Structure 1
Amino acid sequence: MKYIILIPVLLIVFSSAFAQKKFTISGTISDKSTGETLIGATVRIKELPQSGVATNSYGFYSISAPQGLYTLLVTYVGYETVVRPDSLSQNHTVNFAISQQNALNEVVISSNRPNNNQIVSPQMGLEKLNMSQINNVPVLMGEKDILKTISLLPGIKSATEGNTGFYVRGGASDQNLILLDEATVYNASHLLGFFSTFNSDAIKDVSIYKGGMPAEYGGRLSSVLDIKMNNGNSKDFTVQGGLGLISSRIKFEGPMGDKGSFMVSGRRTYLDLLLKGSKDTTLSNSTLNFYDLNAKFNYRFNDKNAIYISGYFGNDNLGIQDRFGSNWGNTTTTLRYNHIFSNRLFSNTSVIYSNYGYTMENFSTQNNFKSTSQITDLNLKQDFQYSLSDSHSLKFGINVLHHTIAPGNITANGTSNTNNKDVEKRYGFENATYFSDTWKASPKLTVEYGLRLSNMILLGPGTFNTYDTNGNTISSNSYGSGSLVKNYLNLEPRFSASYQLSEASSVKASFNRNTQNIHLLNNSTTSTPTALYVMSDNNIKPEIADQMSVGWFKNFKDNAFEFSAELYYKNLQNQIDYRDGAQLNANQDVASQLTYGSGRAYGLELFLKKKYGRFNGWIGYTLSKTERQFDSINNGDYFPASQDRTHDLSVVGIYKINKRWSFSSTFIYATGNAVSYPTGKYAVNGITTFSYSERNGYRLPANNRLDIAFTLEGKEHKKYHSSWNFGLYNVYGHKNPYTITFQESETKMGTTEALQTSIFPTPIPSITWNFKF
């Protein structure tokens, strides 16, 4: 790892020795009314058209040029452009506080700069959403939801109707890295997947990388969903929130002295309170609720030093009278320290804690037991950003991550016939170091290249078995505390490039390799809180994905419209599936229940987006194929993965009717998921048993749905603002299939019937009152 770190150090030394004498302007860009730093705001020198740079996750920028008189231009979508003359004769700091535009006749739905950033940037497969956009998209029960909104983008597919799980370019749901202020969120769902864990009031920025991932990200194969929380209003104390049909939320934020700010946001559902009024005693004595709390505090000591502390705490409780109970939740804490060494060198040091766990209890007198599972991470990151010159921008750093996994213990109580099962904990380090350089090779060509070195170390104590291809034990070894069990080292090259064909169009290409050492074992087609996480070990190898993509990008109508067409091909190694009849939970020998293979995914993504005006929105379409291959499944032949969908179409429209009323709508159409249907049946002791042939050889019926919403803004007041949102989910009541099961007909002996289950077979209305003062 030390050799990768030496690369940027040597580049810095040689550039200092031989580069033309230049000076640097650096600083931060923030919102004038709130003090919130702006991510992705652009600073460029008018006299040097190729000089543009974007602010990082903390609003910091750095731009260099030879000595001279220049004009600085600062732009950010939805904000007024700032023009400032500057005499550059020495390194100096310039901070900008910019104001939002008073544009009541339009809804801006992109956080990219209002010029040709999509054309110039070498980054592929990146989609950015701002909260104004997310808050305008109609969703189930009126709960504004990040995960449901990103599933409307090309290449990203929702798991099932109403579920927050998602698949990216043929990957499985656990192959997405979800970060909240750099902390990993392992289960991003509430109420068994109907809502996500992310309260939109607390979120500032959302970016999802589908391909061409920068070298600073790693640990998952398919995507990175990077979510940043609000820092808090450093100018005024404010309170905002909303009251909905099933949940309410509230947020407090304000300054802490003259150098800091805070933000605290909470949300809770009250479905359980509604159940209390039911005449059915089973329902009235049941539990069904979730809560989450986001908090962030920051303090800027001076222009060069700042500290940030943020956290998320969320939990779900589900129980039916005296039958069973379940609760699960995430806890994350992030401590970050920013230091600016010079006008060119920016440092961020992070200490991150993440925990996910669940408890499930069965209260039956015959089978009373409790099952628990937990995964805990402690992470240390050091990242640097160095503006080497006006042509080179470097990023490099190191990451040390410790995992502790306690998989699925079962404790029996009372007269239970269930045996206690105490599965050994697993410990390991997942370390990485990386380097990347964004190089403006010419006025038309920009290249981003990098390398990530990842290292998985599995440690004792514990007993580790090795299994053959049939799941039989061939060896068993015991290791003491801290002893090395297995070590995997992988190089992950990253490359992407953009070549401008004109001011308004470009072609791009990228290649990246990713590895994954944390694996989700789940023999359900949907995300469940009781799914089991395991580390790579002597049986389970790191998953590897190589993705290649090419694309054409075009802006037109003065950058009001953006169009892109991307082709991708992904090759997957060491994929994991479960054997028929596998027992995954509370199983010390869980690796014996698994089988290993490969996969491939390829497709075309088309995306047309209108960013400005009274009417805007987007159309996204994906044509794709996703397959898996296992020697022990489907006779060793390739078969469609469960998430394989040939066609996926989404249409989103937002229209500003007048000063107070706006209308939004979404329409989706998607090929049904691949499923396995029975091809025959036979009777055993009078019980009908179905037999299956090929894996995923059939399809569920296609999904389609129309959702609409109206927003009424309250009358203008100096001290407060309110709005009403009225929504209708599944307008025409289409019965989208959730599952199809087969059973013997009760009316026609010897006849098998297919039974389709739809979760939302009728339109679902919603109403939410939002307020801020």
Structure 2
Amino acid sequence: MRIRLLVLLFLSTTVLWAQNPPPRFTVSGYVREAVSQEALIGVNVYLPGTTTGTTTNTYGFYSLTLPAQDSLRLAYSFVGYDAIARTIGLRTNQTLNVLLTPGQRLAEVDVTAGRLTEKVSESAQMSTIDVPVSQIKKIPAFLGEKDVLKVLQLMPGVQKGSEGQTGIYVRGGGPDQNLIILDDAVVYNASHLFGFFSVFNGDAIKSVELIKGGFPARYGGRLSSVIDLNMKDGNREKLHGEGGIGLIASRLTLEGPLTKNKKPGQPSGSFLISGRRTYLDIVAAPLINAQTKGQMQAGYYFYDLNAKANYDFSPTNKVYLSGYFGRDKFYAHDNSQNNDIGLGWGNATGTLRWNHLFNQKLFANLSLIFSDYKFQISAVEKSTLATDTYSLQYNSGIRDFSLKYDVDYYPTPQHSVKVGLQSTYHRFTPSAVVLQNAGINQAINNINTIDVLESGIYAEDTWRPSSRWRINGGLRLSYFHQTNATYIKPEPRLSGAFTLKPDLSIKASYALMNQYVHLLSNTGIGLPTDLWVPSTDRVKPQQSQQVALGIAKDFTTGSEFVRGLTLTVEGYYKSMSNIINYKEGASFLLINDPTSANSLRWEDNVTAGRGWSYGVEILLQKKAGRFSGWAGYTLSWTQWQFAELNGGQPYYPRYDRRHDISLVGIYDLSKKITLSAVWVYGTGNALTVPVGRFDSYRAGNALVYGGSPGIVQSFFSPGRTVDDYGTQKNSFRAEPYHRFDLGVQFHKKMKHHERTWEFSVYNLYDRRNPFFYRLESVPATATEPTRTALFRYSVFPVVPAVSYNFKF
């Protein structure tokens, strides 16, 4: 009897092993917006009631390979759109393109376990933040100008620069350590108006994502963050426009189809063009002329232009062409001195991309990229006799030509593979001086250019080995070649999430990053005078290693207020090596003697050091619903150390900030009224300020400070007042920064268009936040003698704003 049972068991097992596994088929397609046919990035595509799913890529494409089924139910959901479900039979490969309808409804449309987007607890990626552009447009802004970068400054782990500045400092890194990408093109200077506004026009932007750590292998070249922005593709259905008129600038965006009355299956495409210009020059010029009684004429303006076109030649071949062009210009003419001065900077980018779908599992994109950043100072001085003219022109910049190829491969729902390569030819122009004296027929034209090649190849895989694990692992190999130096460096990346229970997971990540370009800055606030330079044989590449650990929680049930909330808590430690800074007293902009500045190697003026940063970040975020917004808190420490600065001792850099809090709330009171508010608080910046002041005079060859011999300095004159900055760098802590902004929008739908009036107040309770400090003499009074005191200067009191926005 036992033998018979064993024989039957063996035969049944043999039959089971002999059977072929069930056939598998692939369902793939594109997810677009129903109204405009705009491709949607990051749409969640999943099997309801399971953890099986994927998300659409940058071009709206998705792919899932599943066992054959007579009836397969797929759900599609995305923040700000109504979720939908589709039922298909999967007995052969299927192409399923889906349209999502814009809406703010949280209720699901016959979809189980409804999610608005991929749950943060299920994603392998950590230290990543994305903010819907529709939400950005509702947040009150300085002078009414919506700004992507200023919204990112409100996120934990991101420190802002000085009052009103768009500079971004992420987890202890400097402004040069942020990789800012617009449609694959690097933007080197993202500021207008000396940093008070960014170059990104929100009307032209489709998505923005900030990555602070656990970087996927496809990104490289910076240490601290990636800010990945994508422009809108353009409306494929009809001509659409939107714009606005504000206090300092106006903007207009037009988009529409490239082909009219297209039939199903015909090639199609769309275009977008968006422009913005300030009119500060028109408003300020008469005021300056009146106040100086015609002795001074000055002005400033900026403009930017975004353009994009795309065309589908076939279901498997699509082409995108996009570009950005922007410029800032300041000019002044002094009639009394017969002098002219000008300051200008600008970016230009261009990206040509070709998508090719090899099959339902294999998606590829080829990009040709151009990026150019230029900065210029010009000065002309004419003698009163008009016989002698002195002119100076100083230029600097960086120009890139890049080739990039990426492949997305979806073999199974458990694996999403990305491989690719990128190569960039950089041309740096850190010094270009034109000096001319017409009176003596003398002219000097010196230009320094540095050509380098930077490349990288990568592979990464998002792996789901079980329902509890999500892992993203990858390796990037970076290569850099300059005339006297070649560097090849591996960059391993690993991040993962383990599900403790539904909607709750623990995450960890590690990333090693290398950076081959550097930004030389005297101020640390990202002014256009800062210079980009490459690594050399003397200046090594910057490198960072970062580890992070945290938890992620999704709230999918409960009241409307609670449902849709996500909570992330992360702790991190980051070490940085070979970071560079100017030596004490050094500057590359020696305008008084530009020819000698050109003859010096910039490496002689810098020193290399190391840094480290660690802290905890908490973010409670809600992206959609009648009430949305976020609350963020950061507790962090950052220190730098250079052998030739601060006596070789560690010090806190300017933007080390112990505590940082941001509260952002948006409430749709009705379909016609939207209320919004922002409150921020931050520990004051670490600064080096004078600790005393002395009167100097000359005694023979010695310079005397209040009677004590000092160091001879030729530029000191008898009786000069000298500030003493002490021996410790950044030993002074500025007062805390905080402010409250409030805004209200009034919407109205007309017959052919929609208009919005917005009223906002920046710094509602008139907090005089410090912009800089200076020692000044206080005159004597009847009771006190003349004394010296440290004065705080602020730039923005209460700033009201009004703007008119429209859509048609």
TM-score by length of 2: 0.87
1:724-751 deviation line (CA, Å, top 9, x unaligned)? 0101111111111111122444558773
Deviation at 1:755, TM superposition (A): 2.5
**Correspondence for 2:723:** 690
Q: Which range moves more in the overlay, 422-431 or 677-686?
A: 677-686
Match of 1:752 among 758, 763, 788: 788
Partner-residue secondary structure (3-state), 2:286: coil
The answer on 1:742 being equivalent to 2:775 is yes
Q: Do the aligned partners of 1:40 and 1:113 also contact (CA within 8 Å) in 2?
A: no
Residues 57-456 of structure 1 mapped to structure 2, 5 A cutoff = 57-68=58-69, 69-101=71-103, 103=105, 114=116, 117-257=119-259, 258=262, 259-278=268-287, 279-281=290-292, 285-322=297-334, 323-365=340-382, 368-414=391-437, 420=444, 422-456=446-480
Give the CA deviation at 1:368: 3.6
The 2-side partners of 1:205 and 1:294 are apart by 15
Q: Alpha-carbon deviation of 1:659? A: 2.3
Which whole-Å CA distance do the structure 2 matches of 1:280 and 1:634 have between them? 44
Q: What amino acid is the match of 1:561? A: L
Spell out the pairing of 1:467-546 with structure 2 (5 A cutoff). Answer: 485-546=484-545
Please point out which of 463, 478, 482 is paired with 1:458: 482
Match of 1:547 in 2: 546
The answer to whether the 8 A contact 1:411-1:421 is kept is yes
Name the SS of the counterpart of 1:341 in structure 2: strand
For the residues of structure 1 that align with 2:635 and 2:203, how far apart are their CA atoms? 34
Distance 2:621 2:663 in 1: 10
2-side partners of 1:662 and 1:458: how far apart?
54
Residue 575 (str. 1) matches residue 574 (str. 2): no
1:503 Cα deviation (Å)? 1.1
What residue is the counterpart of 2:716 in the other structure? Answer: none
Q: Separation in 2 of the partners of 1:120 and 1:611?
A: 17
Q: Aligned letter for 1:121? A: S
Provide the residue aligned with 1:8 in structure 2: none
Cα distance per residue 1:83-130 (max 9 Å; x no partner): 11111122221111121226599xxxxxx9526610100101100111
Find the aligned partners of 2:525 and 2:439 in 1 and give their Cα distance. Answer: 29
Three-state SS of the structure 2 residue aligned to 1:356 is strand
Measure the CA separation in 2 of the matches of 1:671 and 1:410. 41
Q: 1:146·1:200 contact (CA, 8 Å) conserved in 2? A: yes
TM-align CA RMSD: 2.0
- Residue type of the alignment partner of 1:660: K
Q: CA deviation at 1:320?
A: 2.1
Determine if contact 1:395/1:437 at 8 Å carries over to the other structure. yes
User: Which stretches in structure 2 are left out of the alignment for 5+ residues?
Assistant: 1-19, 108-113, 263-267, 335-339, 384-389, 558-562, 590-596, 698-718
Residue 720 of structure 1 corresponds to which residue in structure 2?
Answer: 753
Summarize the Cα distance change of 1:369–1:749 in structure 2 as closer, same or farther, 3 Å threshold. Answer: farther
Aligned-partner Cα distance in 2 for 1:443–1:230:
35
1:479 equivalent in structure 2: none
Aligned positions, number: 722
Sort the Cα spacing of 1:378 and 1:688 in 2 relative to 1 into closer, same or farther, 3 A. same
Match of 1:562 in 2: 566
Post-superposition Cα deviations, 1:217-260, rounded to whole Å, max 9, x if no partner, equal: 11000000000000000001012100111100001100011400
User: Deviation at 1:344?
Assistant: 0.4
Distance 1:543 1:283, change over 3 A: farther
Q: Deviations over 1:333-368 (max 9, x none)?
A: 000000000100000000000000011112334764
- Aligned-residue sequence identity (percent) comes to 39
- How far, CA to CA, are the matches of 1:564 and 1:81 in structure 2? 24
For 1:413 and 1:754, the matched residues in 2 are separated by: 42
Q: Deviations over 1:154-207 (max 9, x none)?
A: 001111111111100110011001000010000000010111100000000000
CA distance in 1, matches of 2:256, 2:602: 50
Structure 1 residue 679, shift from structure 2 partner? 3.5
CA contact (8 A) 1:116 1:555 kept: no
> Residues 613 and 347 (structure 1 numbering): CA distance in 2 closer, same or farther, change over 3 Å?
closer
User: What is the CA deviation profile of residues 532-555 of structure 1, one whole-angstrom value per residue up to 9, with x for unaligned ones?
Assistant: 110000111000000000001112
Give deviations 1:361-404, integer Å, cap 9, x for gaps.
Answer: 12334764111112100000000000121211100001110000
Q: 1:772 to 1:612 in 2, by over 3 A?
A: closer
The separation in 2 between residues aligned to 1:743 and 1:201, in whole angstroms, is 46
Asked if the contact 1:124–1:212 (Cα under 8 Å) also holds between the matched residues in 2, the reply is: yes
**Secondary structure of the residue that 1:119 maps to in structure 2?**
coil
Moved more, 653-662 or 191-200: 653-662
Q: SS of the counterpart of 2:120?
A: helix
Contact 1:368/1:416 (<8 A) preserved: no
Q: Distance in 2 between matches of 1:712 and 1:510?
A: 44
In 2, are the aligned partners of 1:116 and 1:503 still within 8 Å (CA)?
A: no
Cα pair distance change 1:416/1:526, threshold 3 Å: farther
User: SS at the partner of 1:164?
Assistant: coil
Separation in 2, partners of 1:92, 1:115: 23
Pick which of 607-616 and 324-333 moved more. Answer: 607-616
The Cα shift of 1:577 comes to 1.1
Q: In structure 2, how many angstroms separate the alpha carbons of the residues matched to 1:252 and 1:613?
A: 28
**Letter matched to residue 281 of structure 2:** D
Q: Is the 8 A contact 1:41 1:113 kept in 2?
A: no
Q: Sort the Cα spacing of 1:158 and 1:283 in 2 relative to 1 into closer, same or farther, 3 A.
A: farther
When the two structures are superposed, what TM-score results if normalisation uses the length of structure 1? 0.91
Q: Is 1:732 aligned to residue 789 of structure 2?
A: no
* Structure 2 equivalent of residue 622 of structure 1: 634
Q: Is the 8 A contact 2:740 2:765 kept in 1?
A: yes
**Alpha-carbon spacing, 1:359–1:676, altered in 2? closer, same or farther (3 Å):** same
1:276·1:283 contact (CA, 8 Å) conserved in 2?
Answer: no
Deviations 1:26-62 (A, max 9, x none): 1100001100000001111236x12110000000000
Instruction: Find out whether 1:673 has 2:685 as its counterpart.
Output: yes
Deviation at 1:410, TM superposition (A): 2.0
CA distance in 1, matches of 2:194, 2:295: 18
| Contact in 2 for aligned 1:46/1:70 (Cα 8 Å) | no
SS of 2:36's equivalent? coil
Contact 2:493 2:510 in 1 (8 A): yes
- Corresponding residue for 1:767? 802
- Change in Cα spacing, 1:337 to 1:39, as seen in structure 2 (3 Å) is same
Whether the aligned pair in 1 keeps the contact of 2:690 and 2:774 (CA below 8 Å) is no
Distance 1:145 1:295, change over 3 A: same
Question: SS where residue 604 of structure 2 aligns?
Answer: helix
Alignment partner of 1:422: what SS? strand
Amino acid of the residue matched to residue 245 of structure 2?
Answer: L
Shift of 1:557: 5.3
Question: Hey, what does 1:476 align to over in structure 2?
Answer: none
